[in-house]
Amino acid sequence: MIYHSLGKTKHYVSFKEAVIRGLAPDNSLYFPEQIHKIEIKNFPSQSIYSIAMEVIKPYIGPYDIPEKILEEIIEDTLCLPFPLVNIHKDIYALELFHGPSMAFKDVGARFMAGCLSYFRKEESKPITVLVATSGDTGGAVAKGFHKIAGVEVVLIFPKAKISRFQEKQLSSLEDNITSLEIEGTFDDCQKLVKEAFLDKDLQNKCALTSANSINIARWLPQILYYFIVYKNISPSEAEVFFSIPCGNFGNLCAGMLAAKMGLPIKHFIAAINSNDTVNRFIKTGKYALLPGKYTLSNAMDVANPSNFTRIWHLSDRSFSKLKEKLDTFSFTDEETISVIESIFHKNGYMLDPHGALGYLGLQKYFQVNSQNSRVLGIFLETAHPLKFTEKIPYDLQKQIIIPEHLKKLLKSEKKSVTLPNNYPALKEHLLNRGM
Ligand SMILES: *Cc1c(COP(=O)(O)O)cnc(C)c1O
C-alpha cells in the first residue's frame, strides 16, 4: 500500500516509511492512497483476529510486513475484551479500556510497537519514538513499548495538567522509556514534537518517529474497534450511530474511514469539551483557533486537533459532505459531572469524564433529531473511571474500587525531568542523552 502526504506537494511512501517517518517532510500527515471495501456479512462467524486481518492487511503490503508476522502482531494487539455494555434502552457503551493502560490507546500503541519491533531489525540507525501526550497516549506507549529492544521512547507531557494516575503510568517505567514534563499546554508539547521532526541534527542521529495518532501505525488499527462491533450487532435491524469523545480526532477519523470502507454507520457524533475548535467550524464554517483550556476530560484538551486534516480529506474537502456524516456538540465540566452522577444513580454505570461526553453527545443528538426507525446508539467509553478519580465528586470516588496492583503504581516514584516550554531546551536534552 502506498501512502501520500496531505500537504500541498504530495509525497508518496510505503507503509514502513510512513511509520518510521511519522510526519511527512512537509509536516503534514500521511493517508492511504486507496481505501478498500469490506463485506461484513460473514463477520458473526469470524474471529476478531480474522476480521482484523481482512480489514488491515490491504493497508500493509507483504513487502512491509510478511503476513505471518502481521498475524502475530494482530493477535498480540487484540487479545483484550471489547465489551458492548447496555446502559439503557438503545444506548450502549463500547468499552475500550480493558488494556494495560486502561484507555483506548493501547490498541494503537501495541500495534505500532509490534510494527517497529519488526522494522528496527532492518534499520541501521536506532529508532527513537517521540510522543507528545495529553495523558493517555503516554501510558499506552510506555506499556506497549517497554523493553522493546532497539527502540527508545521519549514521552512529553504538560506539567501538572494530567491526572495523578496518568502521571504515574507514564513516568514510573525506566529502561527504554524517558518522560519529560513541559511547562506549558498539550498543544505546546505537540508543537515541540513537530519541531523536533523537522530538525536535521536529530534526524542525522537517529530515526525519529512519533507514536501519536499522527503516526499511521498508531492511528490505523483504531478502525478495528468499529469493525469488531459488527461481529455482535445486526445493522439490518437498526440504524447505527457512533458518538466519539474527541481530542486529537484520531478515533473519529478512524471511524469515518471504517464507514468509507463499507461499514453501515448511519451517522457520527463528535463529543468535545470546551476545546471546541471543530464544533465552531461545523457551526460557522470558520476554523479559528483559541488557546487550549483545561477540563475534566484532560485527554481531550486539544485546541488544534492534528487528525482534522485527515477527516477533511475523507470528506473530499467539502463542508456539506462533512456535515452529512458528522454532528458535533461541546459540553462543559458541569454537564460532565452531572451526567456521571445521574447515570451512576439511575443505571448503576460509572462513566469516566471522556465517555461521559460521548454519552452526552448521543443524548443531545437524539433530542435534536427524532428518529423514525429503530436506532442503536453506541458511545466509546475510552478510559476506565479509575484513571480520573480525583476529578469527580467524593461520594462517587468512593464507589470506584482500586485493584491492588494499581495501588502499588500510585505509590511508585516519579522519574521525569521538567523542561521549560522552548525547543532549544528539548533539543539539548535529546542530543545529550546520547541518541
Ligand atoms: C486520547 C483520548 C481521547 C481522544 O481521542 P482522539 O483520538 O485523540 O480524539 C478520548 N478519551 C480518552 C480517554 C483518551 O485517552
pLDDT category at 341 given cuts 50, 70, 90 is very high
Residue 207 CA to residue 205 CA, distance in Å, equals 7
Question: Residue 189: pLDDT above 90?
Answer: yes
pLDDT given for residue 401 in this prediction: 78
Q: Looking at residues 45-55, what average pLDDT do you find?
A: 96
CB 348 within 8 A of CB 88: no
Q: Is residue 249 within 6 Å of ligand 1 at its C-beta?
A: yes
Residue 221 CA to residue 109 CA, distance in Å, equals 9
CB 171 within 8 A of CB 147: no
Q: What is the pLDDT of residues 276-331, one digit of tens each?
A: 999 999 888 888 888 888 899 988 988 899 999 999 999 999 999 999 999 999 99
* Residue 147 vs residues 36, 175, 328, 394: alpha-carbon distances, Å: 35, 7, 40, 37
Burial zone of 127 (CB within 10 Å; 0-12 exposed, 13-18 middle, 19+ buried): buried
Which range, of 170-184, 217-231, 263-277, averages the lowest pLDDT?
Answer: 170-184
Which residue is associated with the grid cell 541534527? Answer: 201
Q: Is residue 244 within 6 Å of ligand 1 at its C-beta?
A: no
Question: Residue 65: pLDDT above 80?
Answer: yes
Q: Is residue 381 within 6 Å of ligand 1 at its C-beta?
A: no
* Residue 383 vs residues 174, 204, 299: alpha-carbon distances, Å: 24, 38, 10
Q: For residue 245, report the distance from its CA to the centre of ligand 1, in Å.
A: 7
Choose among 264, 265, 257: nearest CA to 314: 257
Percent of the chain at pLDDT exceeding 70: 100
The amino acid that residue 232 corresponds to is: N
Taking only Cα atoms into account, the Rg of the chain, rounded to an integer number of angstroms, comes to 20
* Residues whose CB is less than 8 angstroms from the CB of residue 421 and which lie 6 or more positions away in sequence, other chains included: 182, 183, 184, 188, 192
* Residues whose CB is less than 8 angstroms from the CB of residue 177 and which lie 6 or more positions away in sequence, other chains included: 142, 145, 146, 153, 155, 170
Question: Residue 435: pLDDT above 70?
Answer: no
Question: Residue 220: pLDDT above 70?
Answer: yes
Q: Looking at residues 16-38, what average pLDDT do you find?
A: 93
Atom 14, ligand 1: which residue's CA is nearest? 299
pLDDT category at 174 given cuts 50, 70, 90 is confident
Atom 1, ligand 1: which residue's CA is nearest? 299
Q: Is residue 190 within 6 Å of ligand 1 at its C-beta?
A: no
- CB count within 10 Å of CB 370 equals 6
DSSP three-state, residue 181: strand
Q: What is the pLDDT of residues 88-119, one digit of tens each?
A: 999 999 999 999 889 999 999 999 999 999 99
Residue 145 CA to residue 329 CA, distance in Å, equals 35
For the record, the C-alpha cell of 112 comes out as 505500532
Atom 15, ligand 1: which residue's CA is nearest? 136
Q: Is residue 251 within 6 Å of ligand 1 at its C-beta?
A: yes
Q: What is the pLDDT of residues 240-271, one digit of tens each?
A: 999 999 999 999 999 999 999 999 999 999 99
Question: Residue 207: pLDDT above 90?
Answer: no
pLDDT given for residue 434 in this prediction: 52
pLDDT given for residue 255 in this prediction: 98
> What is the atom index within ligand 1 of the atom nearest the CA of 302?
8
* Residue 135 vs residues 156, 190, 247, 431: alpha-carbon distances, Å: 10, 12, 11, 25
**In the predicted model, what is the mean pLDDT of the chain?**
92
Q: Encode 76-100: b = buried (16+ Cβ within 10 Å), e = exposed.
A: ebbeeebebeebeebbbbbbbbebb
Strand order in the sheet with 207-210: 207-210, 127-132, 151-158, 177-182, 417-419
Q: Is residue 250 within 6 Å of ligand 1 at its C-beta?
A: yes
Q: For residue 274, report the distance from its CA to the centre of ligand 1, in Å.
A: 14
pLDDT category at 70 given cuts 50, 70, 90 is very high
Q: What is the pLDDT of residues 358-410, one digit of tens each?
A: 999 999 999 999 888 889 999 999 999 988 887 788 888 888 878 777 788 88
